[in-house]
Amino acid sequence: MTTAAVSELLEVNLGPQHPSTHGVFRMQATLDGETIVALKPVVGYLHRNHEQIGEHATYIASFPFTDRLDYFCAMSNNLGLAIAIEKLAGIPVSERGDYLRVIMAELTRLVNHVAVTGFVLNDMGAFGTPLLYAFRERERILDLFEACSGSRMMCNYIRPGGVREDVPEGWLNRARGVVTNFPRFLDEFELLLTDNEIIQQRTRHVGVLPKELAVSASVTGPLLRASGVNYDIRKVDGYSIYPKFPFKVPLGAVGDVYDRYYVRILEMRQSVKILEQALKEIPGGPAISPKGLALVKAPRTFRPPKGDAYGRVEAPKGELGFYLVSDGSPIPYRYHVRAPSFINLTVLEDMCRGQKVADAIIILGSIDIVMGEVDR
């Protein structure tokens, strides 16, 4: 006599208001016991019409809105739009402006990676400690941002042709201090986390993203590199002055949550190298080219020639692209954002299938999404 266990599938909504979902985001999970059979990400709760607003505002007026896309990485977002506008209208960048932009972009990478590492640990159940350690360091860099741009997170600092205004006196020395001390914090952070057996148990071989799937889903950023694909736009495009800096692109082997965590730690170490070199070599001179300055002062007189341009940068989360179509007026005809968070999110179901519910939370955390960018 045998009794077959009767099992039914259970649908569970994780989110949209849930502390583990990183913003207003819903995961419609179908469960067989504890195991995820299917998972549907539901987005759109934070849609703010970013692209439509961009098509009704001048090119410069879109900059403060890009700060609010991925609000952890305002500087990288500014840089992406600035590069697209420079391509569209052929605006030269001043040399010092170029260096300042690279410094800001790399500081942003530190801010983002340190925060996301803390958040993943929070999702794993290590409440508080790693996140607050991470935020303690993040705050030092945000203070630098405040000193140069006037705002910690909504910087609105980088402009086509350079940066809006030069950094204040003594800022570079302060930045050197922060950058010099950063590896010490990274060592401490790694001592706290990397070899921790609980973290290893929770993250190894969890949420594996195969190389082929990652490439075919056009996933970018640390998520792609953790799967072992050597693709970094800083190297591929060599935009701005990145070719001047010798840095390595860290790669993962398995593509699990642990690799994603560790690739980010290694990337931060490379960013520190870039920053040290940039802060050493930064030249004097104007922080913005004359053409760029004219654009800052009078946004409505700027009429780029008819045509289109796609500018992309290696944002901390992946390839951030801005596509602009100009019809010769001061307002773009089409303004499109290729948001890395949104496209990286599309592989969520493939990574979660067959995993436990608790793992889905850390897989989501390890993708590193910001809803402001996913929904736009």
Query: In angstroms, what is the minimal distance from the CB of 180 to another protein?
Result: 13
Whose Cβ is closer to another protein: residue 154's or residue 325's? 154
- Rounded (10°) CA dihedral 195, 227, 78, 136: -10
Interface pick for another protein out of 21, 78, 117, 156 (rule CB under 8 A): 156
Q: What is the bridge-based pairing of β-strands 26-32 and 10-14?
A: antiparallel
Query: In angstroms, what is the minimal distance from the CB of 160 to another protein?
Result: 13
Interface pick for another protein out of 36, 57, 224, 369 (rule CB under 8 A): 57
Query: In angstroms, what is the minimal distance from the CB of 190 to another protein?
Result: 10
Both tokens assigned to 47: 């849609």
Burial 329-353, CB ≥16 within 10 A → b, else e: ebbbeebbbbbbbbbbbebbbbbbe
Residue 212 contacts another protein per CB under 8 A? no
Interface pick for another protein out of 65, 182, 231, 335 (rule CB under 8 A): 65
Query: In angstroms, what is the minimal distance from the CB of 227 to another protein?
Result: 25
CB neighbours of 50 closer than 8 A, spacing ≥ 6? 65, 68, 69, 337, 376
Interface pick for another protein out of 9, 10, 12, 198 (rule CB under 8 A): 198
CA-wise closest residue to 233 among 372, 99, 105: 105
Interface pick for another protein out of 192, 241, 249, 265 (rule CB under 8 A): 192
Q: How many alpha carbons lie under 13 Å from residue 30 in its C-beta half-sphere?
A: 9
**Contact between 269 and 243 (Cβ < 8 Å):** no
Interface pick for another protein out of 76, 77, 117, 149 (rule CB under 8 A): 149
Q: Which stretch binds another protein (CB under 8 A): 55-63, 206-214, 307-315, 351-359?
A: 55-63
User: Rounded to whole angstroms, how far apart are CA atoms 371 and 376?
Assistant: 8
Please give the full DSSP string across 265-302, using - where no structure is assigned. Answer: HHHHHHHHHHHHHHHHH---S-SB-HHHHHHHH-GGG-
Site string for another protein, 108-137 (x = CB under 8 A): ---------------------x---x--x-
Residue 146 contacts another protein per CB under 8 A? yes
| Whole-angstrom Cα Rg for the chain | 21
Question: Which residues in the 285-324 window bind another protein by CB under 8 A?
Answer: 296-300
307: left (phi over 0), alpha (psi -120 to 50) or beta: left
Query: In angstroms, what is the minimal distance from the CB of 356 to another protein?
Result: 22
Question: Which residues in the 162-191 window bind another protein by CB under 8 A?
Answer: 164, 168, 184, 188, 191
Interface pick for another protein out of 14, 29, 31, 58 (rule CB under 8 A): 58
Question: Which residues in the 236-295 window bind another protein by CB under 8 A?
Answer: none
Question: Which residues in the 67-86 window bind another protein by CB under 8 A?
Answer: 67-68
Q: Tell me which residues touch another protein (CB under 8 A).
A: 57-58, 60-65, 67-68, 129, 133, 136, 139, 143, 146-151, 154, 156, 164, 168, 184, 188, 191-200, 296-300
